[in-house]
Amino acid sequence: MNETNTMPTSAESIITQAQMHTMNSAFTTQVQAINSHGYHSAPRGLAVREIELAHMEIDPRFSVPSFPSRPFNWKYFMGELSWYMTKNGDIEWINHFSNFWKSIAEHGVANSNYGALLFGEQLQWVKDALTKDPQTRQAIAFVNQPRFQYEGNKDFVCTMYLNFWIRDNKLHMKVQMRSNDMFYGLTYDAPFFATLMQTMWYWLQESNPNLELGTYHHCADNMHFYERHFDLADAIAEESATPENPIFFLLREPLFYVNNGQYVISTAGTLFLLDVSQLVNSEQPFGQEESQEILNKYFYIQ
């Protein structure tokens, strides 16, 4: 594992260039768009503000949305990432970080553990497709599945697919969502999917050392937020969202690999899971500071 706390020179220059959209600016733009020309609706009787066919272009190194009125929750992100890495939909682990999943899981098991849905054959297909033909248009990982179409499903997987492609020697990715809650979903989806994009980038550098990171396209057929977040959304819309101090967030090295369709946790991934487990099992209260301290071992964060 890379033990150094200093970012690579290329990363330092990226911060000053900020050539593409940061998640802060993309998030704020979406909130403003929803407030200015979105719709009011009430699926399942719950009031929302929404917009159709949302599309955000994000620099995958600036995927963390954080605002004065809503600082990013590093504790939850750490917990969700470690939960995905277990590939186990049982919510006992993620309950240490949030009670959210208790309200939608059936018999204590969630459908939307993205590790269970992606870490293995789906990402293997993407890696193999791009390795064999860097110009391919078939490097897609499917997420939502027909088996989730049943009456009364409260955890109907939001992500449909991830599409990867290489042009001009840059790796690009599109994430297609059927629906995305900006506060409970997008906030943590974006840095997670950016982490997956960076993971794929590292894997592909084995055969193409000069491959660069391109653009992360995040698309949702319906982008929305619920009434409980109306005031918060208004506060964020009014805040300055210029990318003066965006959070730089780059994976130091892969936390896992795929080999013949099998999921293999790397040394760094094993240490990450051990660090999180020790924190949880210490039975001592922990929060943002302790969580970010762990994440700093495995990501460049600035």
Res 9 pLDDT > 60: no
Q: Please tell me the chain's helix, strand, coil percentages from 3-state DSSP, rounded to the nearest 5.
A: 40, 25, 35
pLDDT computed for residue 93 by the predictor: 96
Query: What 3-state DSSP class applies to 229?
Result: helix
Nearest to 93 by CA among 244, 273, 253: 273
Please calculate the CA angle 146-52-20 and round it to the nearest 5 degrees: 100
pLDDT bin (cut points 50, 70, 90) of residue 13 is: very low
Res 16 pLDDT > 60: no
State pLDDT tens for residues 109-152: 999 999 999 999 999 999 999 999 999 999 999 999 999 999 99
The residues near 33 (Cβ < 8 Å, ≥ 6 apart) are 51, 54
pLDDT computed for residue 257 by the predictor: 98
Lowest mean pLDDT among 35-44, 154-163, 194-203: 35-44
State pLDDT tens for residues 78-100: 999 999 999 999 999 999 999 99
| Cα→Cα distances 205→109, 134, 202, 288, Å | 36, 12, 5, 33
- Give the Cβ contact number of residue 120 at 10 Å: 19
Average per-residue pLDDT for the chain: 92
